[in-house]
Amino acid sequence: MAAKRIMLLGAGGQVGQALVHQQMPNDWEFRAYGHAECDITKHRVVQDEIRTFKPDLIINSAAMTAVDKCETEIDQAMAANFEGPTNLASQCSVLDIPLIHISTDYVFDGTEGETPYKPDHQMNPPNIYGSSKMMGEEGVRNELAWHVILRISSVFSEFGNNLLTRMLQSIDTRDELKAVTDQKSCPTPAQDIAKALLTISTALLHGKGNGFGTFHYCGEGAATRLEFVEAIMKAYAPYTEKRPKILPALTGDFPGFAPRPPYSVLDCTKIRDVYGVQQKPWREGLTAAMQVLMRDRRKVA
């Protein structure tokens, strides 16, 4: 039996790196492309790479995710989050290739009370990042029937610059930290998202016919930004003597930042029912990521 070819775009991001570190099935030929190898905003490059590799499935985790930067670099945000995925879906449609596309909880405005968002809830993004991702979703839907759109939330990991690594740097260098109490979401370990992607991909490659559409996945347990920072401090405590004071704040205390949804908890019932993917407590993922970060830090030292 011929190997199944899987193409990953966005290998340099958190989810991409987490997926690259997973143990792949023996019958996969897995190829990962970072921004330098395949920039999804360059349509001809994408087309050429797809036609050369001839994938059986494409996973797109490439995006411009710097929320505040998207507010000022709108053209770049639209190119990466809307035009690129739409073109990719168009290429997939021509060649009959299923596509898994990563999206975000920021397509919702979070102003309708504290009821978790289901995949079919009406989108109303509060910022340019969310708007560009919403348009990317619609582009994928319009161009390709064989798609999975997976919305994720508040991703953290041991890879690169993210909520966790930035906070560790702040703990190391500051005596006082502020974290907001009026933004609530579900922190999500990138490694858990990668495992969900493996489950979805395997099912699609084995011909799962009812697996297409829009799904949600996030860590189990809603938390404010303040609660997440406190959890990071607790997980980091065995490795440092630093104990900065953590002060509660409100979003309005930080002028100049892009608006965020005050509540963006995702309902993950559909992905559990269709794919058997269960949410995992994000605090367990935080402990695991911290162990890796501290191990790597000891190696450097």
Residue 244 · residue 174 · CB < 8 Å: yes
Q: Which residues contact 166 (CB under 8 A, 6 or more apart)?
A: none
Q: What's the rounded Cα separation, in Å, for the pair 211 and 200?
A: 8
Question: Which residue type occupies 252?
Answer: G
pLDDT for the residue numbered 300: 55
Confidence band, pLDDT 50/70/90 cuts, at residue 25 = very high
State pTM to two decimals.
0.96
| Chain mean pLDDT for the chain | 95
Tens of pLDDT along 66-103? 999 999 999 999 999 999 999 999 999 999 999 999 99
Backbone angles phi, psi at 22, to 5 degrees: -80, 155
pLDDT for the residue numbered 6: 98
Q: What's the rounded Cα separation, in Å, for the pair 169 and 165?
A: 6
Q: What's the rounded Cα separation, in Å, for the pair 74 and 258?
A: 12
pLDDT for the residue numbered 296: 77
pLDDT for the residue numbered 122: 97
Question: Which residue type occupies 293?
Answer: L
Tens of pLDDT along 112-153? 889 999 999 999 999 999 999 999 999 999 999 999 999 999
User: Mean pLDDT throughout 42-49?
Assistant: 94
User: Mean pLDDT throughout 194-211?
Assistant: 96
pLDDT for the residue numbered 292: 94
Annotated catalytic sites, by residue?
129
User: Mean pLDDT throughout 271-275?
Assistant: 98
Confidence band, pLDDT 50/70/90 cuts, at residue 35 = very high
In whole angstroms, what separates CA 293 from the centre of its chain?
20
User: Mean pLDDT throughout 32-44?
Assistant: 94
**Would the pLDDT of 16 be above 90?**
yes
Residue 149 · residue 140 · CB < 8 Å: yes
pLDDT for the residue numbered 301: 52
Dihedral sign, CA of 15, 278, 288, 68?
A: positive
Q: What's the rounded Cα separation, in Å, for the pair 118 and 20?
A: 29
pLDDT for the residue numbered 2: 82
